[in-house]
Amino acid sequence: MFTDRLYNHAKPIWDSYLEHPFVKGIGDGSLDLEKFKFFMEQDYLYLIDYCRVFALGSVKATRLDTMAMFADLLHSTLNEEMDLHRKYAGRLGISKDELENTKPSSTLLAYTSYMLNKAHQGSEAEVAACVLACTWSYNVIGKALNENEGASDHEFYGDWIKMYASDEFTELAEAMKKLMNELADDKPEREKAHLEEIFLHTSKLEYLFWDMAYHKKMWLENTDIMNS
Ligand SMILES: Cc1ncc(C[n+]2csc(CCO)c2C)c(N)n1
């Protein structure tokens, strides 16, 4: 299957997510709250643009069921995933306005600009490739962290783990893999290689996103002029 090929190519990067101190810190509950707050703020902006990518998926869909799937994903991201962020923001004392007015970091801009560019230029297959690593890798991470004894009962990080390890979320990741396989199957090798490149780039950007949050890096670390 095409998604096996994608996974095999990206495996070293995906394995490194679980070794990253940000991800490990969610899993063992030791992550500094300020780092998580930085992550949540940037991630909220990320999700706003991510919704636009889903909307482009609906625009470009050639079949009604694919159009509906992208529309459902847009709806559930706006209402479920972003609600997790709004709830965490409430617990961290950040208002909805503050969340929406967060200044974007360089990594966030790189990631969202890349996805939007590929989604605008490409077909529905490129849109599916843009969104696949993000959903699938969060499910892999959520399930791996959920295996840590007591992790999902952690009073602060437990809800995050529960959401991404849930059966509903696993079904969503599986549905996106299925869609990617359907859309890629009859494509020539040149196009498959392009889809694979998008998957690899977004997988690397996922790692950069964890790392950005861990270091609370806006543009350059420890450079006030660039960070203002
Ligand atoms: C940097 C970053 N990467 C992936 C996700 C996870 N995610 C984003 S949209 C979506 C689809 C369903 O809402 C999922 C799973 C995230 N939040 N932030």
The string of DSSP letters for 111-149 reads HHHHHHHHHHHS-HHHHHHHHHHHHHHHHHHHHHHHTST
**Residue 130 bears catalytic tag:** no
Q: Quote the ligand 1 centre to 11 CA distance (angstroms).
A: 19
- The alpha carbon of residue 50 and the mean position of all alpha carbons in its chain are separated, in whole angstroms, by 8
Is the distance from the beta carbon of residue 124 to the nearest atom of ligand 1 less than 6 Å? no
Q: Quote the ligand 1 centre to 222 CA distance (angstroms).
A: 28
Please check whether residue 34 is in contact with residue 216, taking contact to mean a CB–CB distance below 8 angstroms.
yes
pLDDT score for 223: 65
Is the distance from the beta carbon of residue 138 to the nearest atom of ligand 1 less than 6 Å? yes
User: Is the per-residue pLDDT at 166 higher than 70?
Assistant: yes
Q: pLDDT tens across 114-165, in order?
A: 999 999 999 999 999 999 999 999 999 999 999 998 899 999 999 999 999 9
**Residue for token pair 């643009």:** 49
Q: Quote the ligand 1 centre to 23 CA distance (angstroms).
A: 14
CB within 8 Å of 80: residues ≥ 6 apart: none
Q: Other C-beta atoms within 10 Å of 174: how many?
A: 14
Q: How far apart are the C-alpha atoms of 169 and 150, rounded to whole Å? A: 20
**Best residue among 54, 113, 138 to mutate for probing ligand 1, ranked by most atoms within 8 Å of CB:** 138
Is the distance from the beta carbon of residue 81 to the nearest atom of ligand 1 less than 6 Å? yes
Q: Phi then psi for 118, rounded to 5 degrees?
A: -65, -40
Q: pLDDT tens across 13-70, in order?
A: 999 999 999 999 999 999 999 999 999 999 999 999 999 999 999 999 999 999 999 9
Please check whether residue 130 is in contact with residue 53, taking contact to mean a CB–CB distance below 8 angstroms.
yes
Query: Which run of H or of E encompasses 27?
Result: helix 21-28
Q: How far apart are the C-alpha atoms of 155 and 152, rounded to whole Å? A: 8
Q: What is the DSSP string of 178-220?
A: HHHHHHHHTS-HHHHHHHHHHHHHHHHHHHHHHHHHHHT-SSS
Q: Token pair for residue 107?
A: 């990594």
Is the distance from the beta carbon of residue 76 to the nearest atom of ligand 1 less than 6 Å? yes
Query: Residue 226 — pLDDT band, cuts 50, 70, 90?
Result: confident
User: Is the per-residue pLDDT at 228 higher than 80?
Assistant: no
Choosing from 100, 134, 196, 221, which is the catalytic residue? 134
pTM of the model: 0.95
**Best residue among 47, 52, 87 to mutate for probing ligand 1, ranked by most atoms within 8 Å of CB:** 47
Q: Quote the ligand 1 centre to 225 CA distance (angstroms).
A: 30
Nearest CA to ligand 1 atom 18: 43
Q: pLDDT tens across 175-194, in order?
A: 999 999 999 999 999 999 99
What ligand 1 atom has the least distance to the C-alpha of 135?
15
Nearest CA to ligand 1 atom 17: 43
Which domains can be identified in the chain, with CATH numbers?
A: 2-6+15-215 (1.20.910.10)
- For residue 33, give Cα distances in angstroms to 3, 213, 214: 35, 11, 10
**Residue 134 bears catalytic tag:** yes
